[in-house]
Amino acid sequence: MAGAAVLLSTTRCGSASPRENNRRAYTEGDYHNALVIDALGTLDDPITGELPESPPSERLLRDLQLSGVTALSVTLSVGTEGNLFDKVLRKIALMDEKVAAAPAVLTRIRTISDLKSARQTRHIGLIYNIQNTLLLESDLSRVAILEALGLRQVQLTYNVRNAAGDGCLEPSNAGLSNFGRELIGELEARRLVVDLSHASQRTISEGITRAHRPPIISHTGCRDVTNHPRNVFDTELRALADKGGVAGIYFMPFLTSSGTASASDLIRHLEHAINVCGEEHVGLGTDGRVSEVVLDEAYRDNLRRELANRRAQGIAAPGEGAKAYELIPEYNGPLKFLGLARDLSRRGWPARRIERVLGANFARVYGEVWGER
């Protein structure tokens, strides 16, 4: 299996076990020897803020190094307005410039060998993704262009309908279009990861069926725990696992029925997903930034502005707003994954399960899909 050297061995486990006696605690040393992947995060800078063309600040670089993250999947395109293809080309250039400005900290991930190297050298690897295929404008030849520029993960839809299929907010739940089926074929031919996040139930189900290599749902929650359209039902989670895929649980407010999700909400979704999928098919995709977020009125004002903008584009999901922080307060900052790992260890999770969820599961899928190129 491609990339197997960086992965943990996997044996299907049907459920999360209760606390086991005499199990040692998961340590900081264990964590820093693990492969840690955020399958959908951001490179937001706590200093430069809304200046994406700026080189990374020293604060951001310190936070990235402190985090212990091996790889972070960063989004090049989400929006619905303007010339989206030109925008994504500019965003790739900007991200490449950030990597070039901080070669001691950042590197790009194009192959499984790059992921291995990032782990060995303690660099933070950036995996380029898009969260909406509107920018393709039904032109499959654009996939090859973006793949050549480093795109490695492609989300078909973003909440609403596009040419590929229905998003999770569409009441019709119409599933994949003919173009969507062709698109999955082209993505697999180019060995790009198919991401079914933000899709409708039928689009997810049909996407899993259509895929020949393991797809992912990079950032989601469990809909049988919290009935929110951004979350995924057990039926699709099982189908994803049967296809070898991985679901990343996010750190978003949609893990609870209202307000801001807590650490206990996150852990409840993680353990439910493991009970449904098995421990080798669950990971993490925070949908958030590495650095600590200051939870003040300025942050809440930003959430209000973001909600207004998203409503104007027709892509806002239920539960968004100033009272629903886009993070888990107990895991707010660069050491969020270490804090989570320790909490899971206290609940009796063995180190093997923790390290699969931290990143080994997504690494396996990346290896299977990307190959050695």
Side chain identity at residue 333, one-letter code = G
Per-residue pLDDT tens digits for 22-52: 478 999 999 999 999 999 999 999 887 666 6
Q: pLDDT tens, 159-168?
A: 999 999 999 9
Model pTM score: 0.92
Q: For residues 126 and 124, what is the distance between their CA atoms, to the nearest angstrom?
A: 7
Class of domain 26-370: alpha beta
Task: Report how far residue 27's alpha carbon sits from residue 7's, in angstroms, rounded to the nearest whole number.
Answer: 20
Residues making up the chain, counted from first to last:
373
Amino acid at position 352, single letter: R
Return the closest-CA partner of residue 109 out of 49, 66, 136, 69: 69
Mean of per-residue pLDDT scores for the chain: 92
Give the C-alpha separation, 92 to 303, whole Å. Answer: 26
CB 169 within 8 A of CB 317: yes
pLDDT tens digits, residue range 236-271? Answer: 999 999 999 999 999 999 999 999 999 999 999 999
Checking if the pLDDT of 191 tops 50, the result is yes
User: Phi, psi at residue 193, to the nearest 5°?
Assistant: -75, 130
- At residue 112 the predicted structure's pLDDT band, cuts being 50, 70 and 90, is very high
Burial grade of 121 (CB within 10 A; 0-12, 13-18, 19 or more): exposed
Integer CA distances (angstroms), 108 to 11, 103, 116, 123, 127, in order = 30, 10, 12, 9, 6
346-355 per-position pLDDT tens digit: 999 999 999 9
Closest CA to 254 of 282, 229, 288: 229
- Residue 3 pLDDT grade (very low, low, confident, very high; cuts 50, 70, 90): very low
CA 217 to chain centre: 8
* pLDDT of 21: 40
Q: Are strands 151-155 and 193-195 parallel, antiparallel or unpaired?
A: parallel
Mean pLDDT of 183-206: 98
Instruction: Report the pLDDT averaged over residues 145-169.
Output: 97
d(CA 245, CA 361): 9
